[in-house]
Amino acid sequence: MSDNKKSNQKKESEKLLEQEELERMMLISKADEVVGEQLTIDTEGILQTENELKKFALGDIDDPERKYDIYYKGISKLLLKHLPEGKGYKKARDFIYEEKNTYLTRGHRIDEKGIRGADSRMGHIEDADKILELITHWIIKKGSMVDLYSTIRDLNIKLGYGKPSHE
């Protein structure tokens, strides 16, 4: 083997080792960022991580024009899957949807006639991202309906969007 080839091979393996070392460091420092239990396994034994929940909700986004729509639908898809079903929970579900929609329309609460006066298409992607984050976190933490409701409600009040009408 020529000396040149040898030295190239050596360089290659050194580069690989360096990459490995970086990856190891990344794993350790990422572990430092994680607080609490963040793995959740659904009834079929499938692991759900935050990334997977997002993938379930959003799929592979390839159309930036429609990004907000996809987010909006993705959020509904997650809520539909993870909020309890049935008539008995309808009111509680509606409370949560109201808080979510208020947040996404930056404070447009539904009035007594059932009109919000804002369209989801007016939404901001960063708002949708925030709600998505809150919801995936809530799923992973296996929180209750009240947990999710009060998290978004408190956020709305903090941002000056007002209290829900039933309160």
Residue with tokens 């949807």: 97
Cα–Cα distance for residue pair 131/77, rounded to 1 Å? 13
Cβ 161 to other proteins shortest distance, Å: 33
- Residue 156 vs residues 2, 91, 127: alpha-carbon distances, Å: 69, 19, 12
In the three-class reduction of DSSP (H, G, I as helix; E, B as strand; rest coil), residue 48 is classed as: strand
Cα–Cα distance for residue pair 83/104, rounded to 1 Å? 19
Nearer to other proteins (CB atom), residue 18 or residue 20: 20
Cα–Cα distance for residue pair 145/138, rounded to 1 Å? 9
Nearer to other proteins (CB atom), residue 73 or residue 141: 141
Cβ 132 to other proteins shortest distance, Å: 18
Cβ 51 to other proteins shortest distance, Å: 6
Nearer to other proteins (CB atom), residue 50 or residue 127: 50
Q: Which residues bind other proteins (CB under 8 A)?
A: 20, 23-24, 27-28, 30-39, 41, 44-47, 49, 51
In the three-class reduction of DSSP (H, G, I as helix; E, B as strand; rest coil), residue 41 is classed as: strand
Nearer to other proteins (CB atom), residue 55 or residue 90: 55
Cβ 133 to other proteins shortest distance, Å: 16
